[in-house]
Amino acid sequence: MKLNKNLITLVLALAMFLWSFSAGIVNISLPSISQYLDISTNLVSLIVILHLIVLISFLLIFGRIGDIIGHKKVFLYGLFIFTVCSYFCFISLDITQLIFFRMLLGLGSAMILSIVPAIISTTFPHNERGKIFGFISLTTTLGLSSGYGIGGLIVENIGWNWIFLSVFPIGVITFILANKVLPSDHQNNSDKSFDIFGSFLIFLAVLTFILPFNVEINFNMGMPIILTTFIISLILIGIFFVWESKHKHPLFDISILKNLHITSALIAAFLVTLILTGTIYLLPFYFELVMGYPSDFAGFIILLPSLIVIFIGPLSGYISDNMGTRLPILLACLSLIIAVSLLYFFNETIGLLVIFIALAIRALSEGMFTPANNKLVMSHSTQNKVGSVSSLLNSSRYLGMVMGVVVFNAIFYYTISNQIMQLTGIPTKGAFQLSAPTEILLNGFQSAFIIGIILSVLVLLLSFYAKENDIEIEEESYPPL
């Protein structure tokens, strides 16, 4: 049977568009959900955070399961779960139900995102993959950008719960096309072993590392318990590293991290994604709480500058191919510092022109960094470790996403909560941010953005060290741990 590669590309692009579109519509709707359900920004952030925790925890797991049972099966299961859970999010009656179905939706996300690179690698020849990955990256950006714009319109004119129903028809169409178009897997690999213990370790490590940031605020766990969970997380990470280094078929090869160029580039990818996600998470709250913009206009403001990525991404790839990755990465880091610095000076009197300039520079940084850094990381991969290096790169980016929401939200929440309590003497509860003075809200945003500036400078320093490998590696070169 002759493969229709154009249709396969379309299916993969639709799947990535589906996920990123969903991310955009959820982010722009968070202020409205917070107001409608009378919950704090910290509690509403769990809608995003718990989804991403599940995604990160199962990303490596489903990648391995796909190798065992077939990539097409896992991909279809993921689309089915994602689509069905989106409908259940639509009919959710309270925050508990909404968070629960968003967590289940995270399983579907992990199945989709872990399998797309594998399908590309097994379907397309080496000299076509760069073009396909570029097209997938473009549709991902379009999905996120249009999610902000369309999500804002839906929230403002119909209601926040309808955003989840908007992805349902896309999911159904993608599932039907994928079932007809994607080739069936022919698994010739007799090795069906699966690292169950390693999978359990990575899930617990991620959970105990991230969740206390938000749970402590909502349930007053206390600092001793928070510190205990972090210590447990570090111990679990240590055990995971030892276990993976000795396991015959690990989830990923730990020895890759011995290459410091890869490690520094992965840390840079994590930090850049953290900053980009954290800033874009807070901006809808700034637009609606400080500037008083409706959701549809706030989404429009975020949408337009984000479209710059469509042009900058291919330009970054062209520069990387012809002049090396160092130049676009350094330009991206400098742009990020400038963009977050401009965000720090936002106030209630800032003009739309300055807002668009700041968001355009932020989009420029995103478009320049990601393709060049991806190429830098993969240039150090041996042929037999492409999957492991790719999974590490994806894991660092998605971990950056969840930590961006966690860190920026925690700083914003703690700042305004403490200042309001000092002002009124009354503990904050519910959607208290809706009645917070503008000055206190701005202090919360500025506290978060100053951390973004510091982290941006750190990324710049890391990028000076990381260097692309210009010689294609044919054989194993990483020393064992």
Amino acid 100: pLDDT: 93
Tell which phi-psi region holds residue 350, choosing left (phi > 0), alpha (psi between -120 and 50) or beta: beta
User: Is residue 145 within 8 Å of 307, Cβ to Cβ?
Assistant: yes
Is the pTM above the cut of 0.75?
yes
CA 193 to chain centre: 29
Amino acid 383: pLDDT: 55
Amino acid 43: pLDDT: 80
Amino acid 475: pLDDT: 44
Residue for token pair 């007053």:
220
- Quick one: which H or E segment has residue 242? helix 223-246
At 433-475, the pLDDT tens digits run 667 788 988 999 999 999 999 999 999 998 887 777 765 444 4
Other C-beta atoms within 10 Å of 221: how many?
A: 14
What's the N-to-C CA distance of the chain in angstroms? 44
Residue 38: what residue type?
D
At 381-411, the pLDDT tens digits run 665 555 566 667 777 888 888 888 888 988 8
Q: Is pLDDT larger for residue 308 or for residue 383?
A: 308
Amino acid 471: pLDDT: 56
Amino acid 358: pLDDT: 94
Query: What's the whole-number average pLDDT of the chain?
Result: 81
User: Is residue 107 within 8 Å of 81, Cβ to Cβ?
Assistant: yes
Amino acid 105: pLDDT: 93
Q: Does residue 479 have a pLDDT over 60?
A: no
Helices 196-210 and 46-69, axial angle in degrees (round to 10)? 170
At 238-252, the pLDDT tens digits run 888 888 777 776 766
At 142-152, the pLDDT tens digits run 888 888 888 88
* Positive or negative torsion for Cα 119, 125, 126, 127: negative
For 479, residues 6+ apart whose C-beta sits below 8 A from its C-beta are: 255, 258
Three-point CA angle 66, 73, 199, nearest 5°:
35
Q: Is pLDDT larger for residue 262 or for residue 478?
A: 262
Q: Is pLDDT larger for residue 434 or for residue 298?
A: 298
Rounded-to-integer distance, Cα 384 and Cα 295, Å: 48
Which two tokens mark 377?
Answer: 């990381």
Other C-beta atoms within 10 Å of 258: how many?
A: 14
Cα→Cα distances 230→214, 225, 237, 436, 471, Å:
13, 9, 10, 32, 40
* Positive or negative torsion for Cα 143, 149, 150, 152: positive
HSE of 373, CA atoms in CB hemisphere, 13 A:
32
Rounded-to-integer distance, Cα 380 and Cα 385, Å: 10
User: Is residue 303 within 8 Å of 151, Cβ to Cβ?
Assistant: no
At 99-125, the pLDDT tens digits run 999 999 999 998 898 888 778 777 777
Which two tokens mark 296?
Answer: 């549809």
Q: Give mean pLDDT, residues 24-36.
A: 85
Q: Is pLDDT larger for residue 219 or for residue 480?
A: 219
Q: Does residue 26 have a pLDDT over 50?
A: yes
User: Is residue 79 within 8 Å of 112, Cβ to Cβ?
Assistant: yes
Amino acid 67: pLDDT: 73
Amino acid 319: pLDDT: 80
Which two tokens mark 427?
Answer: 């503990």
Residue 102: what residue type?
R
* Environment class of 125 (CB within 10 Å of its CB; exposed 0-12, middle 13-18, buried 19+): exposed
Per-residue confidence band for 334, with pLDDT thresholds at 50, 70 and 90: very high
Per-residue confidence band for 481, with pLDDT thresholds at 50, 70 and 90: very low
Amino acid 79: pLDDT: 94
Amino acid 340: pLDDT: 95
For 421, residues 6+ apart whose C-beta sits below 8 A from its C-beta are: 427, 428
Amino acid 478: pLDDT: 42
Q: If you write DSSP's letter for every residue of 27-87 in order, what string do you get?
A: HHHHHHHHHHHT--HHHHTHHHHHHHHHHHHHHHHHHHHHHHH-HHHHHHHHHHHHHHHHH
What does the chain come to in residues?
Answer: 481
Amino acid 40: pLDDT: 75
Amino acid 443: pLDDT: 92
pLDDT-above-70 percentage for the chain: 84
Tell which phi-psi region holds residue 469, choosing left (phi > 0), alpha (psi between -120 and 50) or beta: beta
pLDDT-above-90 percentage for the chain: 22
Q: Is pLDDT larger for residue 55 or for residue 471?
A: 55
